[in-house]
Structure 1
Amino acid sequence: MKRVFIAGATGYLGRFLCNEYQARGWHVTALVRKSSIHTNLSANKVVEAEATWSESLTGIFEDYDLVISTLGITRQTDGVGYWDVDYQANVNLLEEALRSNVAQFAFVHVLNADRMENVPLVAAKAAFVRKLQTADIKSTIIAPTGYFSDMADFLKMAQGGRVWLFGNGQNRINPIHGADLAAAIFDTVDEGAPWADIGGPETFTQSDLAKLCFQVLDKTPRITYLPDILRRVILRLLSGIAPRRLAGPAQFFLTAGAMNMTAPASGKRKLAKYFETLLDPEH
């Protein structure tokens, strides 16, 4: 039986990866933080460690065929930032994988990262990717367009009565459900591809997304389009006026929202169904 070690297992994507690899007959070990809640994980084994402390990882990768890391933070809290987690924690995982002669290492990155390296969250991930690509290990980089869970922000705005968009709302995205992405990652890693951009089966403009939210809520669409110059001004001011935990994710979403985030389609799950499930978990 092949063995996979999944870091970031309690996150949105990590849980689906555990499910997928177990369903495909792999022995799954999940790496979780000591302070995390890790019930209901589909894992044969759970290892509690802090990836930011390299000493806590010593020897944990013995006899594994594959390490997959989804490690990363959205909000900088608990005294750690993007360079502590998105970069250094992943470097610690990579170095331990190299010491243990793991055959393959896969990392979940960000689509269009080369256009967003001025964003701290992306810069830290991109620096790790460069290190991984030059390491003496077979690697796969996965760059998803965006998760269904990220699209819930549009739904929250619609629930508040209005969706606010910058520009003309015509930038496109084909977000993907975590289960579909996990399946696509399995296939991509299994094929040995060095890099894959992956999106979902439906492509939306931002205006389409807003309208879909109101449709699911059975409300008349109320959308306000703000001038894009306002977005650019906010980006310049963010780091000086907003707390670090808010400035980081805002910089990413304001930057990514100004470009098309589309990639080859994969999966079959529909965003409207996901929204309906959020509104009614029994749906």
Structure 2
Amino acid sequence: MELAMAGALASPPSCRAFSYIHSSSSASTGRALPSFPSKNVTKISSKNFFCSKFDDFSTVARRAPSRVKQLVMRRIVATQETQARDEKKDAGFRSKNPQETNVVIVGATGYIGKFVVKEVVKRGYNVISVAREKSGIGGKSGKEQTQEELQGATVCFSEVTDAKTLENALRETTQSVDVVISCLASRTGGVKDSWLIDYQATRNSLDAGRALGATHFVLLSAICVQKPLLEFQKAKLKFEEELMSTGEGFTYSIVRPTAFFKSLGGQVESVKGGGPYVMFGDGALSACKPISEADLASFIADCIVDKDKINKVLPIGGPGKALTPLEQGTMLFEIVGKEPKFIKVPIQVMDFVIGILDFLVKIFPNLEDSAEFGKIGRYYAAESMLVLDPKTGQYDADATPSYGKDTLENFFRKVVREGMAGQELGDQAVFK
């Protein structure tokens, strides 16, 4: 009887309309007990208890025997503990403290990767940064310098282009992985390099992470994959498609940023020295909402646990309005205090050069990358780094989300004062 009563009292709220009625009360008072229609009465014990769905739970709780109360509390506590365990299991790593969460970052020594490592470490996660023994622009950084740059993280030296080597290196570094963040990107945009890094190395990172238990993958992609005309875009898009079809129990966040500040700072020194600002067409062929490396790193770190970013493609730009090259150049001249002086290059010039290179590639296959570089330059000159409306085929600045607080104007001012130290374009100067 007591167990039955305890079970009834510990039931969900919709079942807690009970009244404790002692059958002997009618004998002691000489009054008949209230009668209830049989369909509204639940018989807990033929001897002592009846429950009506019209009655109040608190009445039962006050009048129930102490033994029943103890059983009720035990039942409630056990139910709460079971629910908590189930919720924690469903949440996976997101229910852990950051210091208990193992986050692997590949591409950790790249332009954005270094800032992502710094941000994720700052948030308290246990970070494992994957780097080559010779990293950085031109492979100039050795192990010691790399470890110095990635302070706060455990550095795992490995080649991401070899799947087994990467998995073994991670196993030697950590027992398990919760999240993988990929900041990998081809340095040149060349045909073979694009497929080796933007697709295969990124795929290796996914497979190695899953082999060690990872259940979430954050991919730094690019907004330009919306209109894939270039090899690196096609390689990125192929991996995105595979990531999105990984299967149940595995989640992803695909981050597609607009232009980076450094890609727009290449002419600052020239303009500062009195040179012209070079642009294609009338300077209004394209526009972008550039984002700083620090703001982008913060957004990527948000993707580790934010539920509203799970299993989504996330285009992201910086604060403020979209800017054309003409507006960027005008802003730069105002900052340096010089009269605007522009050189406008017809876009057809690039089309002519690309046509010649495409012809020569048929004769000299080793010119394949040169032809691709020309196409990359032409793409960035004419295509906006904004969300592309699939219905209209037009770029939409208003539909491109903004994040962060760093502005291009402040970046230009800083570069005018301090130069481009730390913002070197390296191999990417070919097309950015």
When normalised by structure 2's length, the TM-score is 0.60
Q: Tell me the CA shift for residue 153 of structure 1.
A: 2.2
Structure 2 counterpart of 1:198, from 298, 316, 323: 316
Q: Within 5 Å, which residues of 2 pair with 1:58-77?
A: 58-59=167-168, 60=170, 62-75=175-188
Residue type of the alignment partner of 2:155: V
Q: Which has the higher helix share?
A: 2
**Would you say the 8 A contact 2:179–2:304 is kept in 1?**
no
Q: Tell me the CA shift for residue 159 of structure 1.
A: 4.8
Identity of aligned residues (%): 26
State the distance in 1 between where 2:251 and 2:266 align: 36
Give the aligned partner of residue 131 of structure 1. Answer: 242
Tell which has more relative contact order, 1 or 2 (C-alpha 8 A, sep 6+): 1
**Would you say the 8 A contact 1:188–1:196 is kept in 2?**
no
* Aligned partner of residue 251 in structure 1, secondary structure: helix
Q: Tell me the CA shift for residue 12 of structure 1.
A: 1.2
State the distance in 2 between where 1:252 and 1:74 align: 13
1:140 and 2:265 are equivalent in the alignment: no
Residue type of the alignment partner of 1:213: L
CA offsets 1:9-50 (integer angstroms, 9 cap, x no match): 111111111111111111111111111121322332001111
1:209 and 2:328 are equivalent in the alignment: yes
State the distance in 2 between where 1:275 and 1:50 align: 36
**Would you say the 8 A contact 1:154–1:209 is kept in 2?**
no
Query: 1:94–1:208: structure 2 CA closer, same or farther, 3 Å change rule?
Result: same
Query: 1:35–1:189: structure 2 CA closer, same or farther, 3 Å change rule?
Result: same
Unpaired segments ≥5 residues, structure 2:
1-98, 136-140, 387-399, 421-432
State the distance in 1 between where 2:128 and 2:157 align: 10
Q: Tell me the CA shift for residue 94 of structure 1.
A: 1.3
State the distance in 2 between where 1:266 and 1:47 align: 31
**Would you say the 8 A contact 1:15–1:42 is kept in 2?**
no
Query: 1:138–1:200: structure 2 CA closer, same or farther, 3 Å change rule?
Result: same
Q: Which has the higher strand share?
A: 1
Residue type of the alignment partner of 2:319: P
Give the aligned partner of residue 291 of structure 2. Answer: 176
Unpaired segments ≥5 residues, structure 1:
none
1:29 and 2:128 are equivalent in the alignment: yes
State the distance in 1 between where 2:106 and 2:323 align: 31
* Aligned partner of residue 221 in structure 1, secondary structure: coil
Give the aligned partner of residue 274 of structure 1. Answer: 411
Q: Tell me the CA shift for residue 139 of structure 1.
A: 1.0
Q: Within 5 Å, which residues of 2 pair with 1:154-165?
A: 154-156=267-269, 158-159=271-272, 161-165=275-279
* Aligned partner of residue 106 in structure 1, secondary structure: strand
Query: 1:247–1:281: structure 2 CA closer, same or farther, 3 Å change rule?
Result: farther
State the distance in 2 between where 1:228 and 1:52 align: 37
**Would you say the 8 A contact 2:350–2:374 is kept in 1?**
no
* Aligned partner of residue 276 in structure 1, secondary structure: helix
State the distance in 2 between where 1:232 and 1:282 align: 33
State the distance in 2 between where 1:282 and 1:198 align: 26
State the distance in 1 between where 2:344 and 2:257 align: 26
Q: Tell me the CA shift for residue 55 of structure 1.
A: 2.1
When normalised by structure 1's length, the TM-score is 0.89
Q: Within 5 Å, which residues of 2 pair with 1:1-283?
A: 1=99, 2-36=101-135, 37=141, 38=146, 39-59=148-168, 60=170, 62-75=175-188, 81-115=193-227, 117-136=228-247, 137-156=250-269, 158-159=271-272, 161-170=275-284, 171-192=286-307, 193=309, 194-202=312-320, 203-239=322-358, 240=360, 247-262=371-386, 263-281=400-418
**Would you say the 8 A contact 1:169–1:207 is kept in 2?**
yes
